[in-house]
Amino acid sequence: MKYEWDLTHIFKSDTEAKNREGELNKLIDEFSSNINKYVLNSDNFLEGILLHLKINEYLEQVYCYYRRYIDLNSNDLDKKENFNRIFKVKNKVDFINQQFFDLIVENIEQINKYLDIPKLQKHKLYINRIYDRNKNGKEKESLKENIKNITSSIDLIYRRIIEKEIKFPKIKDEFGNKKEARRTFVSNNRDIRKKSYKFSRKALYNHISHISTLYDIKIKENILLSSIQGFNSPEDKNSLESELPHSLRKQFLNKIVENISVSHMYSSLRKKISMLDKFYVYDFAAPIFNFNKKYELEEALVIIKNSLNILGEEYIEKIDNAFLNGWIDIYPKEGKRFDSVSMITYCGVPYATLNYRDDFFSMRCLIHELGHSIHSSYAKENNDFEYFEYNLFVAEISSFVNEQLLFDYLKGNAKTEEEKRFILRENISYYQNGIFFQILLSLFEDDMYEKRKNDKVLEPNDFNASYLKYQKIIYGNDINFIKEDSYDWILVPHFILNEPFYIWKYALDKCIALYIVKKLKEDSGYLNKYLNFLKAGNSMVTIDLLNIIDVDLNDLSFVDEAIIEYKELLNELESIIK
């Protein structure tokens, strides 16, 4: 088995990569030298589409080749130099792509006629997506880039504050070891939990003025950009890019809030377990149902394959293939990126990176990332470059399916009551954090954008008051709150570093995944539907992709089913503590 990436699946050597880079630059020159000709007639338009796709596929190859080396070792100066050069090439490609997109928008009536010709029909969805995302026009596109250039330092400043400038104090844990109070310590000692919580939040508060200013500017930027692009709001823009109905977000959030009593039930049970008169947010860090077991990689792979056996022999073979052919860089090493992530790319193989540490969390990360990698493998095998890359909303479904299948397998095969209770704890956390906590963040985000729409400059107290308000809604009356609870929004990088109005989709994806797991167990014929969903890539709009697996977003009854399943787990927890 290979436990490191085999990047020769992209290029055998740097020389081969540089040769492809040379070919890419020639294609860029060819495409940009007379770009207007590609809309003159249907033959030219087909030539233009194919050349555009080839340029972007070649760019992905050379970009990913050097990027993957940096993922493995950020100290590799030679690869960084090569990557920086390719990044400049990427900027050139982005520029000519936009030129081509502008031509499509300007000539859409004629191009729609071209797309009715049989040889061009396969590109119709691809061109329609280009039009929908670019119909704002060239002048507005230029204004959008100017705004982005002005605010581009926001992300860098936020990262610097979070990663370097916030100084978390060190305090002693219950064993006398000094640790950085970055977050609340998981500890049986309540004084230590409280101390670590308060110290860490004080460190955040020292920077709250700067971070709230950054978030305020980011919100204003997103509102302006969406307006420039012809959308009523950033929410509308996000709906278009995900190809989801605009009304879906509000309907889903309302449905979760209607069932908020289930989240309150979780809070109540945690308070009962603690036997404390007053239960605070930092008391959630008190460990329950501990189970000290190592999951070394070889054992973890056996468990993972047994968990996913319901997905069929071909799926299991792909897991074996991942470790035989260097898809996954599994162990931590100096200079390697710290997070677990899969790369949705057409070139090479579906690479994923982890920092496996022989624990339950590592095994769960592995089965999650395998969900992405195998989804990418199916999508690549069944689609050309233009229809391979499924959107981020679709991407999380398969990984969440894998996680739930892992929970179900471990719970059904637990050897001791201690192990069974541990798995129950982790599965409950999966529901609570994956659904209700994501809704807390979404409601907070909603509130901030609504306030900023009226040109109100948001102050630290605006962020703090809103976050505390929604914590109280999600957690309920069994929890006591203190002022430090209101600072936690600072620790959610998504608000500043990612696209707005996305977090709620994680919760919806989890509900869809739970529906899929249920159908897989009830109906042996459903597996073909699920595999066809994975194979479809981005060859259909999102609604049609979901129709393959019998998910109708006009009927959110599958969300009710997910809530019922969660409540059953909480009832099981309640029966244990009685």
**pLDDT tens-place string over residues 247-259:** 999 999 999 999 9
Query: How is residue 280 annotated by DSSP?
Result: E
For CA atoms 549, 553, 558, 559, give the dihedral sign.
positive
Is 138 a residue whose pLDDT tops 60?
Answer: no
Contacts of 170 (CB under 8 A, 6+ apart): 178, 179, 180, 181
**Mean pLDDT of all residues in 251-270:** 96
Q: What percent of the chain shows pLDDT beyond 70? A: 97
Query: How is residue 333 annotated by DSSP?
Result: -
Question: Can you read off the two tokens belonging to residue 85?
Answer: 């050069």
The 10 Å Cβ neighbour count of residue 362 is: 20
Q: In terms of DSSP bridges, do strands 341-342 and 178-180 run parallel, antiparallel, or are they unpaired?
A: unpaired
pLDDT score, position 137: 57
- Tens-place pLDDT, residues 439-486: 999 999 999 999 998 778 999 999 999 999 999 999 999 999 999 999
Phi, psi torsion values for 13, nearest 5 degrees: -160, 170
Residue whose entry in the numeric block shows the structure tokens 């020639």: 26
**Mean pLDDT of all residues in 499-507:** 93
Distance CA 255, CA 262 (A): 12
367 close to 322: Cβ distance less than 8 angstroms: no
DSSP-assigned beta bridge partners for residue 480:
280
Distance CA 95, CA 478 (A): 55
pLDDT score, position 63: 96
Is 189 a residue whose pLDDT tops 80?
Answer: yes
Is 334 a residue whose pLDDT tops 80?
Answer: yes
Count of alpha carbons within 13 Å of 191, Cβ hemisphere only?
4
pLDDT score, position 337: 86
Q: In terms of DSSP bridges, do strands 279-280 and 479-480 run parallel, antiparallel, or are they unpaired?
A: parallel
- Tens-place pLDDT, residues 342-360: 999 999 999 999 999 999 9
Alpha-carbon separation of residue 135 from 104, 105, 129, 264 (angstroms): 9, 6, 10, 45
Distance CA 429, CA 440 (A): 15
Task: Check residues 337 and 52 and name the one with the higher pLDDT.
Answer: 52
**Mean pLDDT of all residues in 530-543:** 97
**With bands split at pLDDT 50, 70 and 90, how would you rate the model's confidence at 391?**
very high
**With bands split at pLDDT 50, 70 and 90, how would you rate the model's confidence at 544?**
very high
The DSSP H or E segment spanning 404 is: helix 392-412
pLDDT score, position 338: 80
Is 136 a residue whose pLDDT tops 60?
Answer: yes
- What's the distance, CA 249 to chain centroid? 17
Average pLDDT in the chain = 93
DSSP-assigned beta bridge partners for residue 279:
479
pLDDT score, position 439: 96
**Mean pLDDT of all residues in 524-550:** 97
pLDDT score, position 148: 63
197 close to 483: Cβ distance less than 8 angstroms: no
368 close to 309: Cβ distance less than 8 angstroms: no
pLDDT score, position 225: 86
Integer-rounded Cα radius of gyration of the chain: 25
Is 513 a residue whose pLDDT tops 90?
Answer: yes
Question: Can you read off the two tokens belonging to residue 400?
Answer: 């969440």
442 close to 255: Cβ distance less than 8 angstroms: no
Task: Check residues 139 and 490 and name the one with the higher pLDDT.
Answer: 490
Is 221 a residue whose pLDDT tops 80?
Answer: yes
Phi-psi region at 131: left, alpha or beta (left = phi > 0; alpha = psi -120 to 50): alpha
Distance CA 261, CA 2 (A): 48
Residue whose entry in the numeric block shows the structure tokens 């499924």: 390
Residue whose entry in the numeric block shows the structure tokens 């998504």: 494
